[in-house]
Amino acid sequence: MDHTHHHMAEGADMTMDRCTMNMLFTWDTNNLCIVFRWWHIRTTPGLILSLLAVVALGAGYEALREGIRRYEMVLAKRAEAVPRQAQVDVNKRAHVTKAVLYGIQNFYAFMIMLVFMTYNGWVMLSVSIGAFVGYLLFGGATPVVKETACH
């Protein structure tokens, strides 16, 4: 009995375009997806645009951090100008706003961590370059020491 064509459908599936998930460091960009299935890199121009987008994400995170620092400085100046009786209400609203901003910042940091965890060297370099560019553009008045472990 001849079984040579029995698994032909399986062989066709093996050549299909699909995302791969690497658990080890790699430079390979074949079937690379970044975080989402729709962010599937199939071409060299797509890779270059994706790497630039990752750089922008990293820089954007630093811009967000700087924006939050500036907001906190404005709050501190406002607190000095407000009478003691009114400070309780102002502080409650400010605390809620700061909590929302903190949540956004942490979500952003964890998303960048997931991007980094593609274990693709090109993507990892792009995250680091984004952090460098972001710090260069937005972090001039901040210390280099990080206060969080993720990104």
Query: How confident is the model over 59-70, as pLDDT tens digits?
Result: 999 999 999 999
Q: Which pLDDT does position 70 carry in this prediction?
A: 93
The rounded distance, in Å, linking the Cα atoms of 17 and 134 is 34
Q: Where are the alpha helices (DSSP H) in 18-151?
A: 44-81, 84-116, 121-138
How crowded is the C-beta side of 55, counted as CA atoms within 13 Å? Answer: 14
d(CA 70, CA 22): 39
Contact present, 67 and 143 (Cβ < 8 Å) = no
- The SS3 of residue 26 is strand
Q: How many CB atoms lie within 10 A of CB 61?
A: 22
CB atoms within 10 A of CB 62: 21
Query: Is the confidence at residue 9, as pLDDT, over 60?
Result: no
Chain segment 57-111, per-residue pLDDT in tens: 999 999 999 999 999 999 888 877 777 766 777 788 888 999 999 999 999 999 9
> What would the mean pLDDT of 121-146 be, rounded to a whole number?
89
Domain boundaries defined on the chain:
8-138
- 26-58: per-residue pLDDT in tens? 898 888 999 998 999 999 999 999 999 999 999
Phi, psi of 25 (to 5 degrees): -60, 140
Is residue 130 within 8 A of residue 56, CB to CB? The reply is yes
